[in-house]
A and B are shown apart, each in its own frame.
Chain A
Amino acid sequence: MKDISLVRILPQEPRVPFINMRMIAAALSVLGIIASIFLFTTKGLNYGIDFTGGTVIEINTKGDPDDAAIRAALLDMGFEGATVQGIQPPVGAVDQDGVPITHRLMRIGLQLQDETGEAGQGAQQEALNQVVAGLQERIGAFYVRNTEVVGSQVSGELRRKGILSVALALIMVLGYIWLRFEWQFGLGAVMALAHDVILTIGVFSLTQIEFNLTIIAAILTIVGYSLNDTVIVYDRIRENLRKFKKKPLPEVLNIAINDTLSRTILTSLTTLLALVALYVLGGSALKGFSFAMIWGVFVGTYSSIFVASPLLLALRLKRGVNTGGERKD
């Protein structure tokens, strides 16, 4: 049978000295983490209404919308701080009558209205109604495709839940790996995951892409993906610790990383393929999500090679009963 394997281009037994590069990688990672924290504290994140509360309305005007006119109309109605953003319709988008949309759609964001007092309870709804009616009057008829209204209480809750879910996932994962491996592996994996999460938040701070609930989902998926990668490498390390009892630890780690290298690259590539398709074709609703995931695949792959494994050395992994002896399963 004719074999046209692409991956054969990769050597069967690659011996890239990954572990020797650990100092460079550490410097790079620390730099990245510092930069992320700096960006997060100075520039912050561009939170979506899930977390800030407020209103988003997506409208389809007749013909390409006039940004300036809409902005002026909103100011005229007294909505200061309202945002106006034209967005490209997703591939093959049609309007309510089935006619293809050839111009930009318009997304209008209103800040959270004051909710205090008796009158405040329906304040967000009130603002939504005012804007839709007032805009129709000022710029002509349009079609409302999408509205989202989130009150202050819900947004506060979503924020808490978001942080909680990421923290909880990390703790549970720490517990599982602890159970299956030595404690150094658990700690190493979670530190690598924290690294990934911090860098992802840094990128969102840098690019100011909207940070909303789906991004939290993306971060948790990155956690899952990166962990997937890390566990595969760790598993091989554990196996090799039994196999090469005489070799020094750094070399054993390096062999394990190289053994799993072609799998790491292949899986990253197939996942990226699917994600890029989603990013290009998924429309605006999934842009942020797929962007986060694409970034996460890169960071997750990097961290399982350059962060998670060298960390085992830093955490002084010993060849104990569990790592060197018989496998329990």
Chain B
Amino acid sequence: MLFFSRSKIFMILGFVFLGLLLAVPNGLNESTRDKMPGAFQRTINLGLDLQGGAHMLLEVDLSSILSQALINERTAINDSFRRADERPRTEFVRADGDDSILVRLRSKEDADKALPLIQELSQPVDPTQINSAKTTRVERESDRNIRVTITKAQIDFIREQTIDKSIGVLGRRIDPNGNLELTLAPEGSERILLQVPGAVNTQEIKKKINESANLSFHLVNEKDSTNDQAMMVAMETGRVAAGDKYFPFSEANGRGGGLIVNERTRITGDCLKNSSGGPHPENNGAVVNFEFNVACAREFGQMTARNINKRFAVILDGNIITAPNIRSAITGGRGYIEGGFTMESARDLSLLLNAGALPAKLTIVEERTVDPSLGADSIRAGRIASMIGLLGVAIFMWMGYGIRFGTIANMALATNIILIAAALSLFGSTLTLPGIAGIILTIGMAVDANVLIFERIREETYNGKTPINAIETGYKLSMAPILDANITTLIAAVTLYFVGSGPVRGFAVTLAIGIVMSVFTAVVFARLLTSTWLRGKRPKTLPI
């Protein structure tokens, strides 16, 4: 146990030296740090509870995603029937339950014709995979009934896409310039974690999360919209002709009431290539200028060409912001929206539109904000507590095992702290307040391995062994208990990491790193120190 080959010594010292180099940047100021080579510029990442900032957990509204998927499926079924050479006659196609559509046909023959058409719609969820699950499950329930169920694989796929898209949109909305160092990541299967370092006022952020920015252009049903009777019914009961929908005017528009519009449209927020706020060309208000992509520009051109002297409604999040008259075909794909904007609200809206629409509603299910001054307090308190803990333990070890072995234990302890700092910097793990607690706890527990070894050496010396023999046996016999004890603690730490969340994870990380490093420093590094001392001094008795 006490013999170290030269290469091994180099490796151990090299490892410790590397740790020292990696830990050093944490103690330097920023300008000095910038001069260091890349890997050595890394410092410990402070968690939000230490640097201050806002932490939010957003939940994606799954039910709205599902109902949208059902609507799309229904539309697809109807379209495919309409396009078929021998068109099956349907009684109805409607959503039935949370995740399925019931198609009832007039006769068994119609159902026979419909079945292959519907089955054809069921595509692999992920076409790049050979055995990918299908998007829907088609069952013939009876002679005339066909049930189409959206598969779990498809729901999962849509959910993942929704979360991915939401993350993209949120990033562009909250941090359009990309300098806030946001954290935006999926958390579990239905949530998004959002962290904004340094942010204290969360009102702005919440506003950006709550706006969905769903924009669409619809043709107005002029016949019904100008018919007082139809409008009355629509306003009071929401009942309108099939394929139409009633929308109210937005508050900013200043006009009361609403319009009945054609529900189907292909001109949506996804069509926007770009938008910007600007002054109104005719009065002193403001407008939002927009530019469509090529496909939508063509579509919009055709739509306007066919409907001159009718109105189209621009609908944002369920409200009509404007409904201008079509004077001539708009073919360039450019235009502007007026709707009682101020310069500021026009600019805000264009920013939102450029960021894209959120595919689903997001609910804030958890929010934590910490003021930077509070974070600074925690760091200071943690630093003082660890200093005192460190000093206390060091004095204790000197008193317990004398100058020689006490120094070895304390050098191991100091190395341990340095290596923890190095590992945290290297892996870019986040140090949280509970993480600091983990380090302080490690300070107390780290000497355990050394205590075990020294006790054993002391015992062997007492039993009459020579110094070298006592130390050799001491290290050898301590190995099993040290490993057993630390592996079990490591198991607890790993469990904590996988089951825990947020700051608790930070604690688990520092605890786990601390355990691994303390075993290394005690059984490898301290052993090297002991062996070096033994070879140099060749003592007759042990000062332990």
Contact = CB atoms under 8 A, between A and B. Distances in A.
Contacts of A224: 488-489, 491-493, 511
Given A92-B377, A147-B369, A225-B489, A1 B403 contact: yes
Interface in B387-435: 388-390, 392-393, 396-397, 399-404, 433-434
B444 A272 contact: yes
Interface string B468-488: 000000000100110011111
Interface string B485-505: 111110111011001111110
Interface in A92-141: 92-96, 98, 121-122, 124-125, 128-129
B437 A282 contact: yes
B444 A273 contact: yes
A235 B456 CA distance: 13
Contacts of B492: 169, 173, 220-221, 223-224, 227
A263 interface: yes
A91 B451 CA distance: 32
B470 to A, nearest CB: 13
Contact of A232 (B206, B443, B481): B481
Contacts of B402: 1-5
Contacts of A231: 481, 484-485, 488
B180 interface: no
Given A94-B376, A154-B365, A221-B441, A146 B480 contact: no
Contacts of A69: none
Interface stretch (A38-46, A76-84, A209-217, A315-323): A209-217
B507 A217 contact: yes
A6 interface: yes
B314 to A, nearest CB: 26
A149 B388 CA distance: 34
Contact of B445 (A214, A225, A278): A225
A212 B418 CA distance: 31
Contacts of B433: 285-286
Interface string A192-203: 000000000000
Contacts of A223: 492
B374 A6 contact: no
A148 B502 CA distance: 13
B377 A270 contact: no
B445 A228 contact: yes
Interface stretch (A21-29, A157-165, A246-254, A305-313): A157-165
B393 A274 contact: yes
Contacts, number: 265
Interface residues of A, number: 90
B447 interface: yes
A31 interface: no
Interface in B328-387: 363-374, 376-378, 380-382, 384-386
B59 interface: yes
A216 B508 CA distance: 12
A68 interface: no
A89 interface: yes
B501 to A, nearest CB: 7
A6 B451 CA distance: 13
Interface string A168-183: 1100110011001000
B112 interface: no
B244 interface: no
A283 to B, nearest CB: 5
Contacts of A1: 402-404, 543
Give the size category of B's interface with A.
Answer: 35 or more
Q: A interface, by DSSP: helix, strand, loop or mixed?
A: helix
Interface in B434-480: 434, 436-437, 440-441, 443-445, 447-448, 451-452, 455, 458-459, 462, 477, 480
A277 interface: yes
Nearest to B374: A145
A153 interface: yes
A235 to B, nearest CB: 4
Given A121-B363, A235-B480, A274-B389, A96 B381 contact: no
B539 to A, nearest CB: 8
A263 B544 CA distance: 14
Given A228-B488, A267-B447, A286 B499 contact: no
Contacts of B400: 5-7, 266
Contacts of A274: 385-386, 389-390, 392-393, 440-441, 443-444
Contacts of B363: 121-122, 151
B452 to A, nearest CB: 6
A149 B365 CA distance: 8
A12 B499 CA distance: 43
B313 interface: no
B31 to A, nearest CB: 22
A103 to B, nearest CB: 15
B215 interface: no
A311 B500 CA distance: 31
B367 A147 contact: yes
B488 A236 contact: no
Contacts of A271: 441, 444-445, 448
A52 interface: no
10 A-B pairs closest in CB distance: A271-B444, A274-B389, A274-B444, A165-B499, A224-B489, A224-B492, A235-B481, A149-B367, A273-B392, A6-B399
24 contacts: A2-B403, A5-B400, A13-B462, A92-B381, A94-B373, A96-B373, A143-B371, A148-B367, A148-B368, A151-B363, A151-B364, A151-B366, A154-B365, A165-B500, A228-B448, A231-B488, A232-B481, A235-B481, A273-B389, A274-B386, A277-B386, A280-B385, A282-B381, A282-B437
Given A150-B366, A277-B389, 4 more contacts: A90-B381, A125-B206, A177-B488, A290-B437
Interface of B: 49, 57, 59, 200, 203, 206, 210, 363-374, 376-378, 380-382, 384-386, 388-390, 392-393, 396-397, 399-404, 433-434, 436-437, 440-441, 443-445, 447-448, 451-452, 455, 458-459, 462, 477, 480-481, 484-489, 491-493, 495-496, 499-504, 507-508, 511, 543-544
